[in-house]
Structure 1
């Protein structure tokens, strides 16, 4: 393997131009403490940084500041940082990272060195999900700071429940979960030693059936197609290695399928006919057809509206009649057909893409679609179609387009700090950027430079995290949101928020 290919693999990249072909690889190192004697764990401590791949460079950080940079003569996957006896100068929150050619991995897990009689709390997490259901083995993973300790798992309100696991060669232990409840874990370095502070609790729910997957067509919950089109529906489950099923109503559809990852399936509908319109759902179950485990709840439906364009086009009009409404106005788009009993779709077109804005089945011959609090984001060409959902399943040609243009700036976001006072060095600082638009990219800026980003947020707000804060993070921050497609836009900056770091 060439040095270039090895380096690309290290960073989770590939030589393929297709983004979906990129190789995902964990690069974050592991960091733990090794005591000369677990009877006196803080008397002589060494921090071990374990890289994912061989490297020449390691860095050790304390409280957000680099303490040591080591460049080795021979490649290795591990490096030891001796601390010795823990004192006031060496207490703190540590991370490490590894690198190559001045490129660095992300920071390791957080390790607290407190030198106290009671060791710092471990971290408890659930895998692969935080619920139990027939057929699924859920485990709790308790990770401590020292290698070779004994882990204790407890369930809130159950004095009789105590699971013990020894990890002589590891820094974590796993516990299978059979019952719902609030769990926490701790550890002790030796039999007579005081247990650590308990971890933050993890809630395990018991579900009669697994939670629903999501189903979409072209990334949307509904689309309009001509008969004869090939359509792909994507079903995504909250965990991997499951069996999927596509349904229309109560009918199970046996159609071609493909998969690019174990948590999703692509259902392929070939050359659809007008009768194939309607609501589709998907579900999944653990195991396979030979098991009796329950199916998940059904996904929210995805709707296919098939229109053969044989019926007369509807008429689309706007109220108020102006097609350049003021920002914040209410615009009503009225789609009128020759008769009642039809399914209507309002279609939005911009940047060459058509997508369904909303659907209605009114009692009369007219559907009224409302655009509330319009902004620049509502600027687009709109049309509407209708289709008969009963035989012979005919549909209309699209209406004439209505071009809607809204001028003016985008609503300004608001930035909120999710902490009080000064942030302690070594901890994370979380700022919530509240915008007004979902499916955008949120950016956190300091002195005009982007320092944190959240892409494609599902909601109109996002939490932007400054990881492992040190004195160098102090300053004023603001946020904005943007999109490059289908209509490029960039919001104004939010109000500034000052981040103060304790001790700086």
Structure 2
């Protein structure tokens, strides 16, 4: 995995996928009569020969070109009861493998386009770009997206009848509105100057802050580890939007440390541990523009820990006994060193190395680490280390391994549905899987199938959202979720109690032939 890819897993994705490989929109023959004669245009992000149009959750049309092209137009004609519905498209890919399957021959599904044939027109989408907040002298944008090309966009602010912004989209399907004041905003669109506006979008709230919100500071990698003084620790400071300048700090002191800016909202810092003369926590902050003196809030602090293993090993004990522990109880892991004033770290054995689970700076000679509401996922081998907090910052060898054994099966997650009633054809079915651990992979499963339908990662919480991105009648059935540990740790939960998904409509033979493998698994960081 590349450095940039690893960093993107630490922070989630935006509310709108600007890197989508397939994009779908409506081209009406006349904006005065938009439903009289329609064409659906599927745009690819790369040259391809294959396109597929999907209506109401099942395969509708597939075309193959003799030469590579960037787009294909699907004539729809006049809107009738036979072609009303929800559409998406996808584009063919040529992966570097001799075996083509439904999992690797197509891109992910495009954006959703609704064809109703009725007035008012379907609601557009509205989202902030890049953030949903403003500060004095710093604005943001609201992007309004309609499925129909060439319309006129309208932005309104709730509780302000005098606020109206108008943008002509020309040949585009989006309009960007600059926003300088807090409030709740909605957008709509119309096909001509005298036409009836569409249904309004969902509201977007823009908040004003006195100073920009704090960035995120994290160690590179899934888990923090104990470093050796001869190695470099890599810290990543991630701002919520593009910024002019970052600072890495210890208290009120700015550190001048070599770094890199792979993205305008991201700064990497390479810490040479032997050059560090201070062991106090690190924070980072940013400012948005050269001409502004206002810095953001500070990030949450991060502490470094390393060891040259020259000091005597501490002793690790468990209270109660580390064997036959009851699920739901609390275990205290006591790490005892030969002197006071040290920094202690609790480690858990992984496949090839030891992730740092907890850290403490007690005043005495021992640190007591608590594991609350334990379960089978906490079973494993633990050790602890300590390091000096004054130069030359030497550290101990790890303690002897202490094995924890927790009784009972792994705790099951809970799967929650994020809709009510029947799922409309062609829409997304969104779920939320509630687990019992952070830094896990979560999977959406369907009864009778072995391959997960959607995957997600819960990095900073114990929950993650899962979905069926585009459902048809064939997706009615029972679903559950499970979670597994991210490397180097290893555990797997049981499956949640099932929930039933009921999709409107009855499945025809053509629909039933649509394989669930057409739904490519996704990856998202919660």
Name the TM-score class by shorter chain. 0.7 to 0.9
Partner deviation per Cα, 1:342-392 (whole Å, 9 max, x = no partner) = 443333333232333223333543322111222333233333334453567
* C-alpha deviation, 1:311, in angstroms: 5.4
**2:75 is matched with which residue: 79, 82, 87?**
82
1:12 corresponds to which residue? Answer: none
Deviations 1:139-195 (A, max 9, x none): 111111222211110011111100011122222211111111111111111122111
2:128 pairs, out of 126, 129, 132, with 126
1:248 maps to 250
Matches within 5 A, 1:194-209: 194-209=196-211
Cα pair distance change 1:270/1:33, threshold 3 Å: same
Partner of 1:3: none
1:490 to 489, 492, 511: 492
Higher relative contact order (CA 8 A, sep 6+): 2
Q: Label 1:438 to 1:159 Cα distance change in 2 as closer, same or farther (>3 A).
A: same
Q: Does 1:60 align with 2:53?
A: yes
1:357 and 1:272 mapped to 2: Cα distance? Answer: 24
Distance 1:21 1:217 in 2: 13
Distance, in Å, in 2 between the alignment partners of 1:215 and 1:100 is 37
Q: Does structure 1 residue 146 correspond to structure 2 residue 148?
A: yes
Secondary structure of the equivalent of 1:104? coil
Cα gap change, 1:282 to 1:405, in 2 (>3 Å) = same
Q: C-alpha distance in 2, partners of 1:341/1:476? A: 56
Select between 247-256 and 348-357 the one with higher mean Cα deviation: 348-357
- Seen in structure 2, the aligned counterparts of structure 1 residues 305 and 486 have a Cα distance that, compared at 3 Å, is closer
- Superposed, which structure 2 residues align to 1:96-495 within 5 Å? 96-100=89-93, 103-134=105-136, 136-219=138-221, 224-272=226-274, 275-288=277-290, 291-305=291-305, 312-389=312-389, 396-446=396-446, 447-449=448-450, 450-483=452-485, 485-495=487-497
Cα separation, partners in 2 of 1:354 and 1:187, compared to 1, 3 Å: same
Contact 2:222 2:439 in 1 (8 A): no
Deviation of residue 218 (structure 1)? 4.4
Q: CA deviation at 1:212?
A: 1.3
With over 3 angstroms needed to count, the CA separation of the structure-2 counterparts of 1:393 and 1:171, relative to structure 1, is closer
2:349 aligns to what SS in structure 1?
Answer: strand
Aligned equivalents of 2:185 and 2:440: distance in 1?
36
Structure 1 spans left out of the alignment, 5+ residues = 1-17
Contact 2:238 2:267 in 1 (8 A): yes
CA distance in 2, matches of 1:436, 1:336: 29
3-state SS of 1:427 partner? coil
Structure 1 position 198, deviation (Å): 0.6
Contact 1:227 1:274 in 2 (8 A): no
Relative to structure 1, the CA distance from residue 149 to residue 342 in structure 2 (aligned partners, 3 Å threshold; closer, same or farther) is same
Q: How far is 1:135 from its partner?
A: 5.8
Residues 73 and 402 (structure 1 numbering): CA distance in 2 closer, same or farther, change over 3 Å?
closer
Distance 2:477 2:311 in 1: 63
* 1:72-128 superposed Cα distances (whole Å, 9 cap, x missing partner): 334322222222221222221111222146722222211111111211111111111
Q: Distance in 1 between matches of 2:486 and 2:355?
A: 17
Match in the other structure for 1:36:
29
Q: 1:121 aligns to what SS in structure 2? A: coil
Paired residues of 1:428 and 1:467 also in contact (CA < 8 A): yes
CA RMSD across the alignment = 2.7
Measured after TM superposition, the shift of residue 499 of structure 1 is: 1.1
Contact 1:52-1:77 at 8 Å conserved across structures: yes
Aligned-residue offset at 1:237: 1.9
SS at match of 1:350: coil
TM-score, normalised via structure 2 length = 0.84
SS in 1 for 2:83: coil
Look up the SS of the partner of 2:35 in the other structure.
coil
Deviation string 1:452-485 (CA, Å, 9 cap, x unpaired) is 1113443212221101111121122121111352
Tell me how far apart the structure 2 counterparts of residues 271 and 364 of structure 1 sit (CA, whole Å).
25
Query: Are 2:53 and 1:51 equivalent residues in the alignment?
Result: no
Residues of 2 paired with 1:466 and 1:406: CA distance?
A: 35
Question: Which stretch shows the higher mean deviation, 438-447 or 262-271?
Answer: 262-271
Taking a change above 3 Å as real, the CA distance of residues 22 and 343 of structure 1, as seen in their structure-2 partners, is: closer
Point out the structure with max Rg over C-alpha: 1
Query: In structure 1, how many angstroms separate the alpha carbons of the residues matched to 2:78 and 2:449?
Result: 43
Unpaired runs of 5+ residues, structure 2, are 9-17, 95-99, 507-526
CA distance in structure 1 between the partners assigned to 2:41 and 2:392 by the alignment: 71
Shift of 1:249: 1.0
More strand by share: 1
